[in-house]
Amino acid sequence: MKIKYFQDTDTLYIELREAEVSETRDLDEDTLVDIDHQGAICAITIEHARERADIPRFSFEQIAA
């Protein structure tokens, strides 16, 4: 998984896994979901991310199974 924040466009890009995107769907006017040829989600793009995702308070935690 890769998470990228583009400050110049205030865009958050979350790549769940590397895959060839076959379709991009709009969830709403500021959220896009990339889908592979099997219908699985590959990535999510969030526009206006600072006001929608509280970017300065981002944290990551991996929980052991």
In total, how many domains does the chain have?
1
pLDDT, position 39: 95
Domain assignment present for residue 62? The answer is: no
Q: Which domain holds residue 34?
A: 2-57
Q: Which residue, chain included where needed, has tokens 């981002």?
A: 58
Domain assignment present for residue 64? The answer is: no
* Amino acid, res. 34: D
E strand or H helix at 52: helix 49-53
List CB contacts of 11: < 8 A, sequence separation 6 or more.
Answer: 5, 45, 46, 47, 49
Other CB atoms within a 10 A radius of the CB of residue 34 amount to 21
Domain assignment present for residue 45? The answer is: yes
Task: Summarize pLDDT for 14-59 with one digit per residue, the tens.
Answer: 999 999 999 999 999 999 999 999 999 999 999 998 888 766 676 7
Round to whole Å and give the CA distance between 64 and 59: 17
Domain assignment present for residue 65? The answer is: no
pLDDT, position 27: 94
pLDDT, position 63: 72
5 or 55, higher pLDDT: 5
pTM, two decimal places: 0.81
